[in-house]
Structure 1
Amino acid sequence: MKKRLITSALPYVNNIPHLGNIIQVLSGDVFARFCRSFGYETLYVCGTDEYGTATETRALEEKTTPRELCDHYNKIHNEIYEWFNISFDRFGRTSDPIQTEIVQDIFKKVDAAGYISEQEIEQLYSPDQDMFLADRYVRGTCPHCAYEEARGDQCENCGKLLEPTELINPYSPLGGQLEIRKTRHLYLNLPAVLPQFEKWMNKASKDGFWARNAIQMTQAWVRDGLKERAITRDLKWGIPVPRKGFENKVFYVWFDAPIGYISITAGLTENWKDWWQNPDNVELFQFIGKDNIPFHTVIFPSSLLATGDNWTMLHHMSSSEYLNYEGGKFSKSAGMGVFGNDCQDTGIPADVWRFYIFYNRPEKSDTLFTWNDFQDKVNSELIGNFANLINRTLTFSYKFMGDTVGEFNELPLLWDQVNPLLKKVVDHLERAELKDGLKTILQISDIGNKVFQEAEPWKTKESDPEGTKDLLCNLIYLIRDLSIMIAPYLPETSKKIADLFKQGDLDWSTVGSKTGIIRIGKPEILFKKLEDDFIEEMRNRFAGSQKDRQKNSSSTEDTSIENQFNHSVDLRVARITAVEQHPEADKLYIETLDTGDGEPLQIVSGIKDYYSPEELVGKNIILVKNLKPAKLRGVKSFGMLLAASSEEGDKKALEVLFANDDINPGTPVIIEGKDGGPAVKTKLKVDKFFEMPIKTQDGIVSVGETALTVNGETLKTKSVLNGEVG
């Protein structure tokens, strides 16, 4: 099996990504997760594309430096992709020094091979800004399709690449009159590379089953005649050109940006050439939007071919079409649509967004995001089909058989239908047909639902207990298979299901087997139905542009610390049922909790110096329930208890926050005057939780300036009256 090198289009750093952008990084993530589970040695890299006109101009507009702007948005991108659970091996930056080193090295080799030429051209210049305007920040009417808002580098409407001087009635968004001046630039001689390129492309596009639009657009470029393409620009923010006479110019971002895939890998491992210069043992899979096709199928491959080095070249190109929004277009520049940070703010779990993005992925034609369709597909397919099979089967099994799964007979009625589809899922995913793969998985769960319904186990449990057991055990193994197949798409959901089988980590080699499951846990509801009033609220909230929404909400939105806490932290009363010493840490306890969910929960706490097990067992504590699981000295902790602490000199006082013994486990702990926030809480990183200002003031536990309450009663401490809570 060849190694698999996976990239997704480098998101441009000067804005917040919307769902249409996020499709690419999510697509690479799903494919990478599948490849790892299936046994391929896999590397998935991406990062922010940071050089170029858009960054330099945006920095001017915001009166900051390009570096500061990139630092700001890189952090935002990282947080959004982390929330979506993107499993990058490395998410890097094209402004890293290693990018300059590799780009300049590739340029020197291309230049030495004779594929670089100099040309004097006329370019639009802004006297007001005292600068040549790079392509992206010139606007005008496209000479090919008459679209009136075409950019100077490419028309977003028809996809044609442009020169700014080709535009009809060009203008600058920065204002001021434009004039044409002469300047010199370096060009990549694509016609000279064409014989090598065409030979490679004809074979690679067939062997790698490129997406149809990638083949069509690349063939159209060749058919229309490749032209020499400028690879330098008159800018300051970019990679310097290592050639005499061009010291004040930088490389054009579309020459250096794809090389970022290589440099980001080099930033991860010094053995990067084992991936990028090893074509006999590595296959390159790239996930992009259709507007980026020619840069990935023509310019980047031609640049690599022109060096004469033995590069790992593109194997499979997965180039999606456009995702449109409620009858219009997603647009970063106009702020239209649902953006990555918006998804977090809705309270809808990341897996639900991931589900719909792939159910609606624009693989072969443009697709439309609408809130009504989002609601319908989540409620009918994710909940009514997939989650319904899991909940009804495991709930009934738990009641009928308890938690033990014994021997059983296979049901040909079920597996004769399912087995061909198991192979079909693999076939789809091997070809990166992610939408079809998901829909085949849903087809399998639909078969499971029909078999359950037609068997009527609620009737046969008394008349045919052995047959009922066979039915349930077969469906349990089907659910186990579904949890593995759905993992690339819904990683958190898959983990929840897999944890019920108490088998540890599962991979694709387990799919189709009928062994291994001995016990099952008590199931819980996986997803909350999306109600009409909630969807209407979302539609209204995200109508118009981001600027309009911010303007409309600025006077009414509650941005207080208390409100932020209320919508991100899930505090619950939990009862300690057991305490044991951590085997690898003297100061840590492992506590088992009753959270009211029916399943015990394990946490790890550093309170041994302050409490004995006898002082803790049977007590109600305050649990941060929606923390991301973390390992503490090798033992996984699924939450954290709260304690108040204070220091006087060398002495530290610590008091666990206890709730009254008569309060039921699972009771929410809320901010006074609040309703407990949204019903669905997202997983919270521990460092984000520690940013919340929780403290005790005169014995009252508060967030900001507002008290926490349990069953309407203020939460109080007895000994640490004034201190920090964590």
Structure 2
Amino acid sequence: MKLVYESAKEPAKACLLALQYAGIPAKKLIEPVPVVTLELGDQDKSGNFIELMGELSITRYLMKQCSWQGPDNLHLDEWILYHMKPIINNTPKSQVKSNQDLLSAVGYLEQQVSDQFIGGQKPGSTDVLSFTYLYQYFSGNPWMVKTFPKLANSYKQIGEVYTSVQEELGEKVKAPAKVGKTVEEFAPHATILRDKSVPKVPIEGKRNVLITSALPYVNNVPHLGNIIGCVLSADVFSRYCRLRGYNSIYICGTDEYGTATETKAIQEGLTPQEICTKYHEIHKKIYDWFDIDFDYFGRTTTNQQTEIAQSIFLKLKENGELNEDNVEQSFCESCNRFLADRFVLGTCPSCSYTDARGDQCDKCGKLLNPEELIDAKCFLCNSSPKMKTSKHIFLNLPNIRDRLEDWVSKSSSNGGWSSNCLKITSAWIRDGLKPRCITRDLKWGTPVPLPEYSDKVFYVWFDAPIGYISITANYTNQWEKWWKNANNVELIQFMGKDNIPFHTVIFPSSLIGTGENWTLLNNISSTEYLNYEDGKFSKSRGIGVFGDNIIDTNIPVEIFRYYLLSNRPETSDTMFKWTDLADKNNNELLPNLGNLFNRLFKYLAKSNKPIPNASTLTSFDEITLENIYILTKRYLDEMEELKLKIALKTAMEVSALGNKYFQDTEFWTLEKKDIERFKTVINLSANVARLVALLLEPFIPSFSAKVYNQFGIQRDSREETLLEVLATATSPRVIMTLLKEGTKVGNVMPIFKAISQEQANTFKAKYAGKKDN
């Protein structure tokens, strides 16, 4: 047997370590080979020596030659190499505590340790592979040893065997750090996992909720205003629905067709498909960091999109809901291309805003046509476009108007649309219901299925909302049970206010015009604008913090989620300010949540005993439970009404009441003078803390996951739908049943820490943008 490797990097070390465990003599040669190779010594029928290549196959083969037989964890071995290894390659030791992706991955492995090792009482290939890549972070690092004690213990044992490998390679032998007195450390990122392997379909007799958020466009990196306006808000409601036991799915994805994609591709020297893939991955990475838990996050450049959009179009044509007409369009002779309305820039004729687009002025909100702009310019080359005639297809909205108005009246009443949403929709119906062009002179888009229109594609605002349907079709081949089931599915959509008319007028009209039983909007949650400091977000000018910047701040995700949701622009524009973020963390999260959980957990961990059962409740206890119960019921009503910002405030009020109860009872004096009273106070306080984590789970799930870890809570069917237990309860005493008997607190670590004004000012200066000379 012969092991050949180029350098003493991790792949070779994993194989050398496995050789040590297997106890098989082998020659070890350092040669310029592309991958580490193990020649087994046997020959095949052609006379060639049988080889294994790569640390995955070699390590798995060698560990199977050991005298013990461990479990075969192929999925974990592959997960280490294809998921965790890329994260490790981009994480130096100095950044391990700030890289939430890495800490989450290590935390996942920590959960897999079943005995002494992941493989049981003896190490297996998974232990060897994970040790090889992660040992660098544990060696000399007491924080990692303390945070992940199971892995640290197994790595300590593997390290004793690994010493001979290090000596053979001429490396200095290091030992894992010993746990001693260290500076107080904070709980690493934690995630609430769920099984998404089986796609959901509507269930008769259950509340079936289809949740979508506006499809983000792939020509830019999302900023915080984009995130709070759609995906984050929808994630909150989606998590709430699951905790209520509703049969719900959350569908989203990137909107990839249209002129904006073509333009971005030209700017970056890529094909439209390449630009879509690049930005789809950027968006997905950012949403993953933000703990956005989609049931499916897809994209619109799929066969399903083409098939469904074309079938809707042909049905509209069959029903006589389409017209043809000639259109005067902006044409840039310099670029030799028609320009989409939004890519004609100029001065608004209404408010004189100098950066208005050809479809709408972002300052005054007036809908425009490109020819109305003063001093119109091409977005690409800045030359003045000309008008040129082209034949197009129109959706005959006036013909659909009566059916649309009837639907709006019923849906807005039954669903409880906001007054702002209804106002915008009514204005559009009153002023904007003229035939609307649904085709464009482009190459990058869904093709129009008519021979005479082979050089055209569908316009983005006809095509893009159909993406909700096609992405669902990628999620499950039973998509029609969600989208052609108007009597049994509630469609609830989240978006910024500028998207409202396309979801309450254009998209519904397209579906209504087919005459089929499409699932139409039940309720809509829209936001105003989130601005940045004293202006607007601008990626080109470096103003504002965008999704890719957020990850680099090293501020935990729960703080950003809390700040954005407590500052959600539900009824008016709001402002992101770094000093305000620091204030909310230091003056709301720390003294409220931090105080309740730190004091309670430290006390419970110190006793090292299960939470005691409650004895007799006093009138003070009953009043406290009643007040918390009333707040909980109010929270449930607010969430049902999509009043997310107010519901978050209510959840924090529950935490404040828990703090007050804990303080007013003077629990620290009770253990010695009234043990029965002490038991009741501790039990009630712990259950209220569990309730707070539950109410906040939709908003800041990573915080709740850290709480659950410290409570030792395992997710089961009851935990997954615990809000429904509260919703159906008729007595405040239900709160005393949230924690299971025998619950014990361990591995206590603080969750929040202060953000200094100096840090806030540093971030403010960093993202202030480029200064004009």
- TM-score (ref. length: structure 2): 0.69
Q: Secondary structure in 2 aligned to 1:236?
A: coil
Q: What residue number does 2:573 align with?
A: 366
Query: Does 2:339 correspond to 1:133?
Result: yes
**Which shifted more, 447-456 or 80-89?**
447-456
Count of aligned pairs between the two proteins: 548
Indicate which of 576, 582, 605 corresponds to 1:375: 582
> Residues 177-227 of structure 1, C-alpha deviation per residue, up to 9 Å, x if partnerless?
321211111111111110000000011011111122211100111222511
Q: What residue number does 1:526 align with?
A: 751
Query: Does 2:222 correspond to 1:17?
Result: yes
Indicate which of 356, 366, 371 corresponds to 1:165: 371
Q: What residue number does 2:351 align with?
A: 145
Q: What residue number does 2:294 align with?
A: 88
Q: 1:404 to 1:484 in 2, by over 3 A?
A: same
- Report deviation, 1:38: 0.7
Q: What residue number does 1:458 align with?
A: 668
- Report deviation, 1:335: 4.5
CA distance in structure 2 between the aligned counterparts of 1:259 and 1:370, rounded to whole angstroms = 36
**Which shifted more, 496-505 or 359-368?**
496-505
> Residues 222-277 of structure 1, C-alpha deviation per residue, up to 9 Å, x if partnerless?
22251111111111111111124211011111110000000000011110011001
CA distance in structure 2 between the aligned counterparts of 1:15 and 1:492, rounded to whole angstroms = 27
Query: Does 2:544 correspond to 1:322?
Result: no
Query: Does 2:599 correspond to 1:407?
Result: no
Q: 1:308 to 1:217 in 2, by over 3 A?
A: same
Q: Is the 8 A contact 1:401 1:469 kept in 2?
A: no
Which amino acid in 2 is paired with 1:84? F
Q: Which runs of 5+ in 2 are unaligned?
A: 1-205, 727-733
Which amino acid in 1 is paired with 2:695? M
1:221-236 paired onto structure 2 within 5 Å? 221-236=428-443
Q: What residue number does 2:384 align with?
A: 177
Paired-residue identity, %: 48
Q: Secondary structure in 2 aligned to 1:245?
A: helix
1:59-208 paired onto structure 2 within 5 Å? 59-175=265-381, 176-208=383-415
Q: What residue number does 1:26 align with?
A: 232
Q: What residue number does 2:683 align with?
A: 473
Query: Does 2:478 correspond to 1:271?
Result: yes
- Report deviation, 1:18: 0.5
Query: Does 2:506 correspond to 1:299?
Result: yes
CA distance in structure 1 between the aligned counterparts of 2:365 and 2:541, rounded to whole angstroms = 19
- Report deviation, 1:500: 2.9
CA distance in structure 1 between the aligned counterparts of 2:744 and 2:616, rounded to whole angstroms = 18
CA distance in structure 2 between the aligned counterparts of 1:144 and 1:4, rounded to whole angstroms = 42
Which amino acid in 1 is paired with 2:307? E
Q: Secondary structure in 2 aligned to 1:156?
A: coil
CA distance in structure 2 between the aligned counterparts of 1:174 and 1:14, rounded to whole angstroms = 14
Indicate which of 210, 214, 223 corresponds to 1:5: 210
Query: Does 2:641 correspond to 1:431?
Result: yes
Q: What residue number does 2:736 align with?
A: 514
Q: Is the 8 A contact 2:625 2:735 kept in 1?
A: no
Q: Secondary structure in 1 aligned to 2:612?
A: coil
Which amino acid in 1 is paired with 2:662? F
CA distance in structure 2 between the aligned counterparts of 1:174 and 1:378, rounded to whole angstroms = 43
- Report deviation, 1:336: 2.7
- Report deviation, 1:51: 0.6
**Which shifted more, 529-538 or 157-166?**
157-166
Q: Is the 8 A contact 1:17 1:332 kept in 2?
A: no
CA distance in structure 2 between the aligned counterparts of 1:224 and 1:10, rounded to whole angstroms = 26
CA distance in structure 1 between the aligned counterparts of 2:627 and 2:432, rounded to whole angstroms = 51
CA distance in structure 1 between the aligned counterparts of 2:614 and 2:673, rounded to whole angstroms = 19
Q: Is the 8 A contact 2:493 2:525 kept in 1?
A: yes
- Report deviation, 1:330: 2.2
Q: Is the 8 A contact 1:405 1:520 kept in 2?
A: no
Q: Secondary structure in 2 aligned to 1:338?
A: coil
CA distance in structure 2 between the aligned counterparts of 1:491 and 1:537, rounded to whole angstroms = 28
Indicate which of 530, 554, 558 corresponds to 1:347: 554
**Which shifted more, 142-151 or 439-448?**
142-151
Q: Is the 8 A contact 1:45 1:261 kept in 2?
A: yes
Q: What residue number does 2:458 align with?
A: 251
- Report deviation, 1:375: 0.6
Q: Secondary structure in 1 aligned to 2:277?
A: helix
Q: 1:261 to 1:17 in 2, by over 3 A?
A: same
Q: What residue number does 2:422 align with?
A: 215
Between structures 1 and 2, the one with greater strand share = 1
Q: Is the 8 A contact 1:481 1:510 kept in 2?
A: no
Which amino acid in 2 is paired with 1:508? L
Q: What residue number does 1:442 align with?
A: 652
Which amino acid in 1 is paired with 2:415? G
Give the aligned CA root-mean-square deviation in angstroms: 1.8
The structure whose RCO (Cα within 8 Å, separation 6+) is larger is 2
CA distance in structure 2 between the aligned counterparts of 1:38 and 1:328, rounded to whole angstroms = 39
Which amino acid in 2 is paired with 1:140? G
**Which shifted more, 340-349 or 399-408?**
399-408
Q: 1:409 to 1:495 in 2, by over 3 A?
A: farther
Q: Secondary structure in 2 aligned to 1:284?
A: strand
Q: 1:331 to 1:187 in 2, by over 3 A?
A: farther
Query: Does 2:635 correspond to 1:393?
Result: no
Q: Secondary structure in 1 aligned to 2:442?
A: coil
Indicate which of 264, 276, 285 corresponds to 1:58: 264
1:507-656 paired onto structure 2 within 5 Å? 507-511=722-726, 512-515=734-737, 516-522=740-746, 523-544=748-769
Q: What residue number does 1:416 align with?
A: 626
Q: Is the 8 A contact 1:501 1:517 kept in 2?
A: no
**Which shifted more, 524-533 or 307-316?**
524-533
Q: Is the 8 A contact 2:508 2:520 kept in 1?
A: yes
Q: Which runs of 5+ in 1 are unaligned?
A: 553-726
Q: Is the 8 A contact 2:448 2:454 kept in 1?
A: yes
CA distance in structure 2 between the aligned counterparts of 1:16 and 1:293, rounded to whole angstroms = 22
Which amino acid in 2 is paired with 1:172? C
Q: Is the 8 A contact 1:501 1:518 kept in 2?
A: no
CA distance in structure 2 between the aligned counterparts of 1:144 and 1:194, rounded to whole angstroms = 28
> Residues 417-437 of structure 1, C-alpha deviation per residue, up to 9 Å, x if partnerless?
111011011111112211111
- TM-score (ref. length: structure 1): 0.73
Between structures 1 and 2, the one with greater helix share = 2
**Which shifted more, 85-94 or 138-147?**
138-147
> Residues 555-585 of structure 1, C-alpha deviation per residue, up to 9 Å, x if partnerless?
xxxxxxxxxxxxxxxxxxxxxxxxxxxxxxx
- Report deviation, 1:35: 0.4
Q: 1:275 to 1:533 in 2, by over 3 A?
A: same
